[in-house]
Structure 1
Amino acid sequence: MAVEELVGPAPKGWKYKTLGEACKDGGGDIQTGPFGSQLHASDYVPVGVPSIMPQNIGDNRIIEDGIARITPEDARRLSRYLVRRGDIVYSRRGNVERRALVGHHEDGWLCGTGCIRVRLGENGADPRYASYYLGHPVVREWIVRHAHGATMPNLNTSILAACPFLEPPLAEQRAIAHILGTLDDKIELNRKQNETLEAMARALFKAWFVDFEPVRAKMEGRWRRGENLPGLPAHLYDLFPDRLVESELGEIPEGWEVISVDTEFDITMGQSPPGSTYNDIGEGLPFYQGRADFEFRFPKRRVFCTAPTRLAKIGDTLVSVRAPVGDINMALEDCAIGRGVAAVRHKTGSRSYTYHFMSSISDVFARFDAEGTVFGSIGKKDFHSISHIKPPRDLVLTYEKLAANLDDEVEKNEQESRTLAALRDNLLPKLISGELRVKDAEAFLKERGL
């Protein structure tokens, strides 16, 4: 039976087959993760072998943050479900078009309940090429269209096995994967650099405004006027007091105050415009409704609005005010915000201080998540009334000057990653279909210094 030519006619020397046939030819297979009866919620542990769940599947990568774990004993018991480098993992329900390529770091993790594992086999297609092929817009649409379910798409091994798969000669597969992988590797490097930069700014905020390390250093005689303390230049000495005093929030530096958030921050609660004002063609302002619109550090464009009712400015911190409450991001551009988002900015205009302050009160936001009857939320009155510690204005501005340099680098990396992602998404379907051949693509990237 002929296989559908899903991404166009096969170039000479290329061949269509089903994904199931490609796996079988290479000695691999397609397999679901363990059933719920094999692994219960009570089996998960704080430390152990990571278990890949649908929420851990990003766009061709596995997201480790918050991943569930199982004991080594359970991993041995469920050894047939462990993933290997080169496997591709799908979610069985919901966002079934997303897939993640298993790398060296994830080798030996569990393909968790709710996931499906695709294994091309040692003698089969190049796994990285296969992962890019499965990311072709037409292939993604095919998978969604064939997934069962009236209210939520459901994927199974039979559907994936029937997916048309275009297989070039192995050398060309590897060349295509190398070109697209070069772009993804740079994006991943930028992502890791941004994580490091943000961690530096967050650590500095915590040391100054949460743990009061400079104050404690002065109290204990570890820092004296005119001397440097690790991480603290001598000229900052006079910005910190040398005593802690009692307050309703515990010990705080002498001279600092406990006040409500709205005293120090301008807060704009989002409001959703009429549905008729939305579009996906770029008219109006980018519109962000909630957490789902957030990317790693900057919001991801999805919807635009021609008649916004509430606005956020470039550099405002965007806070999710509906479940999960307290997820944060920073606006890369002027945008419209819906009722699931609030825009916040310190009255000094300090964007970095605002961002890291909002991150530092995650435990407060978590309480509103837990108290929701159906789902967590925080209203204007409760948001405004959150108590916090007010440091001196000069200290806020000093922190801002240091942290803003780090945030500028984050923004630069993010902008570059967006450009690289757009280039990758433009090249991918042309390379996968054979419309653009490898040598032409290599010349194209060389002209751009990549």
Structure 2
Amino acid sequence: MIKESRKSKPREWEGEGGMREWKECKLAEVIITNAQSITKDYPHKTIRYLDTGSITCGKIDFIQEFSLESAPSRAKRLVKEHDIVYSTVRPIQRHYGYIVNPPENLVVSTGFAVIETNKKLAEPLFIYNFLSSKDIVETLDSIAEGSTSAYPSLKPSDIENLDILLPPLPEQRAIASILSSFDDKIDLLYRQNKTLEAMAETLFRQWFVEEANKDSKIGKITELIEFNPKRQLAKGTIAPYLDMANVSTSVFHPENWYEREFNSGTKFINGDTLLARITPCLENGKSTYVTFLEDGQVGWGSTEFIVMRSMPNLHPFFTYTLARSTDFRDYAEGCLEGTSGRQRVNVDHLANYEIIIPPSKVIQLFNEIISSIVPKLHFNFEQIQTLEKLRNTFLPKLMSGEVRVSL
């Protein structure tokens, strides 16, 4: 698809005097995949391990630490500065990233293709932007869907065999710089939101977990929230759908959602909190606060969500701070039932969680402070969406030469 669009105007572009310096080649001509793995001479006794599910669209949710002896069997690939990690399983889930300032003992899963760029021929960030573009992700996902393995997956050679149009190195660097300026602004907004979330979570811990006074009482969590409230959505309705893969483990908003015909699943509205009820998503911290729907709209998602809603006397964001609480999550993990690897939270047991219920004046103060935080979170979220749309609009135009960069 990319190749055809490039060939639709080659003479027109060359006639404008700039595209003749661009070169079409196979990606294999400028990259090496999976160059290094752990060997018996590996010098570190502990590793920091990045799994495929722990990074999405370049954002790392968490890195685990293991002794070398207890590390997962897939913890084998070594990475270095400016490498690209790209999950070879279900590319459409966008578990890829660009490595910057890695710890010396960082090891990644064999579920990644680790891509090293020949810097004499190509700019690593240019290659990363190429591989993370919508068209290429969809191309690789189509290849993966056609694989003969038990699930959609790629071989490193599938990545290496991609056709790429390369401008001269100075122009590659200029294009990468423009796209990085978008990424830097987006990253700043993400960090601001993480700070705001941390403030809200601190308030929750202080007043609902750590500090009981004479007017407080201990009660069941069902005095403060409702589990799986009833929502109406007719079968066959086209409505926003949220997949578990798009739920973050670190920020309140999801990575993406899309319209899909409703058949069966959890239903939710703005102000609901979604908590993963299945392993390992629960342990990994997947939860989200719904703000992305239109007024009065009902969305739906995976059956593996628990929907939670604050009672009317509490700000809806209270339930999200609860879902992020280590104490609550630990209790939820204790409510897991079922066979190993496919365990799910028993909601009836989860409803027995005990919590400090502060007096109404403390709840009112909590609501007031949270009411000043949540609009800032949502504003930043909307700015992130706007910047991501702009970036995604410019990316294919810059990468194809349709929009040129002045050097």
TM-score, reference length from structure 2: 0.79
Equivalent residue number for residue 34 of structure 2: 31
- How many angstroms does 1:108 deviate by? 6.1
CA–CA distance in structure 1, aligned partners of residues 273 and 77 of structure 2: 41
- From 54, 62, 82, give the equivalent of 1:86: 82
How has the CA–CA distance of structure 1 residues 70 and 169 changed in structure 2, closer, same or farther, with 3 Å as cutoff? farther
Encode CA deviations 1:74-97: one digit per residue, 9 max, x unaligned.
Answer: 9xxxxx953222111122334376
2:304 aligned with 1:340, yes or no? yes
How has the CA–CA distance of structure 1 residues 271 and 367 changed in structure 2, closer, same or farther, with 3 Å as cutoff? farther
How has the CA–CA distance of structure 1 residues 359 and 104 changed in structure 2, closer, same or farther, with 3 Å as cutoff? closer
How has the CA–CA distance of structure 1 residues 19 and 187 changed in structure 2, closer, same or farther, with 3 Å as cutoff? same
Equivalent residue number for residue 263 of structure 1: 223
2:21 aligned with 1:13, yes or no? yes
Kept after mapping to 1: 8 A contact 2:232/2:298: no
Equivalent residue number for residue 272 of structure 2: 316
Equivalent residue number for residue 57 of structure 1: 55
How has the CA–CA distance of structure 1 residues 327 and 364 changed in structure 2, closer, same or farther, with 3 Å as cutoff? farther
Which range moves more in the overlay, 257-266 or 417-426? 257-266
Q: Which amino acid aligns with 1:58?
A: T
Q: Which amino acid aligns with 1:330?
A: Y
Kept after mapping to 2: 8 A contact 1:190/1:417: yes
Give secondary structure in 2 for the equivalent of 1:5: helix
Equivalent residue number for residue 396 of structure 1: 363
Alignment of 1:25-424 (within 5 A): 29-31=32-34, 34=37, 48-59=46-57, 61-69=58-66, 81-95=77-91, 98-105=95-102, 109-147=106-144, 148-212=147-211, 252-269=212-229, 277=236, 283=238, 285-288=239-242, 291-295=244-248, 296-299=251-254, 300-305=256-261, 311-323=267-279, 324-325=281-282, 327-332=286-291, 333=293, 334-338=297-301, 339-341=303-305, 342-360=307-325, 361-369=328-336, 371-373=337-339, 375-424=342-391
Q: Which amino acid aligns with 1:350?
A: H
- The alignment-based identity, stated in percent, is 23
Which range moves more in the overlay, 331-340 or 134-143? 331-340
CA–CA distance in structure 2, aligned partners of residues 270 and 379 of structure 1: 18
Give secondary structure in 2 for the equivalent of 1:171: helix
How has the CA–CA distance of structure 1 residues 208 and 293 changed in structure 2, closer, same or farther, with 3 Å as cutoff? same
Rg (Cα) greater in structure: 1
Give secondary structure in 2 for the equivalent of 1:159: helix
How has the CA–CA distance of structure 1 residues 406 and 89 changed in structure 2, closer, same or farther, with 3 Å as cutoff? same
- How many angstroms does 1:330 deviate by? 0.8
Q: Which amino acid aligns with 1:65?
A: F
How has the CA–CA distance of structure 1 residues 343 and 144 changed in structure 2, closer, same or farther, with 3 Å as cutoff? same
CA–CA distance in structure 2, aligned partners of residues 178 and 397 of structure 1: 47
Encode CA deviations 1:16-37: one digit per residue, 9 max, x unaligned.
Answer: 11111112xxxxx2226648x9
Q: Which amino acid aligns with 2:300?
A: I
Kept after mapping to 1: 8 A contact 2:50/2:109: yes
CA–CA distance in structure 1, aligned partners of residues 4 and 55 of structure 2: 24
Give secondary structure in 2 for the equivalent of 1:206: helix
Q: Which amino acid aligns with 1:420?
A: L
- How many angstroms does 1:102 deviate by? 1.0
How has the CA–CA distance of structure 1 residues 340 and 20 changed in structure 2, closer, same or farther, with 3 Å as cutoff? same
Equivalent residue number for residue 15 of structure 2: none
- How many angstroms does 1:310 deviate by? 6.8
Which range moves more in the overlay, 145-154 or 425-434? 145-154
Q: How many residues align?
A: 373
Kept after mapping to 1: 8 A contact 2:28/2:160: yes
Q: Identify unmatched segments of 5+ residues in structure 2.
A: 11-18
Q: Which amino acid aligns with 2:221?
A: V
How has the CA–CA distance of structure 1 residues 327 and 270 changed in structure 2, closer, same or farther, with 3 Å as cutoff? farther
TM-score, reference length from structure 1: 0.72
CA–CA distance in structure 1, aligned partners of residues 273 and 252 of structure 2: 10
CA–CA distance in structure 2, aligned partners of residues 55 and 44 of structure 1: 24
Give secondary structure in 2 for the equivalent of 1:118: strand
Q: Which amino acid aligns with 1:316?
A: D
- How many angstroms does 1:347 deviate by? 2.9
- Cα-Cα RMSD: 3.5
CA–CA distance in structure 2, aligned partners of residues 103 and 305 of structure 1: 40
How has the CA–CA distance of structure 1 residues 205 and 142 changed in structure 2, closer, same or farther, with 3 Å as cutoff? same
Give secondary structure in 1 for the equivalent of 2:309: strand
